[in-house]
Amino acid sequence: MESSSAEKDLGELVNMSWQCAFTTQKANHILGCVKSSVASREGIRPLCPALVTPHVEYCVQLWGPQHKKDMDLLEQVQRRPQR
């Protein structure tokens, strides 16, 4: 029997690692747009929870990261605005 990161949902095999990677990419893109358009660090801090966090937290209970690498990706995105 082969090991797979995909799980069966409604009769289809779904790879949730792809969802984590896609969400991370989308959040990084939004964060990059915010950083390039706002000059001061004080202006970035209130925008990130409003624009980035909803993408990371949307339906996370459904597609929740099960692997450590996926959790690390999502945590990096959330820590990035704090730097």
In a domain, 31, yes or no: yes
Partners of residue 12 on adjacent β-strands? 9
Report the C-alpha gap between 1 and 61 in whole angstroms: 28
Domain span at residue 51?
Answer: 25-82
In a domain, 43, yes or no: yes
Please give the model's pTM, rounded to 2 decimal places: 0.69
In a domain, 68, yes or no: yes
**83 residues of the chain, pLDDT tens digit each:** 555 566 666 676 667 788 888 888 999 999 889 888 888 878 888 888 888 888 888 877 766 677 788 888 888 888 877 76
Task: Please count the structural domains in the chain.
Answer: 1
In a domain, 11, yes or no: no
The secondary structure of 46-60 as a DSSP string is HHHHHHTHHHHHTTH
In a domain, 42, yes or no: yes
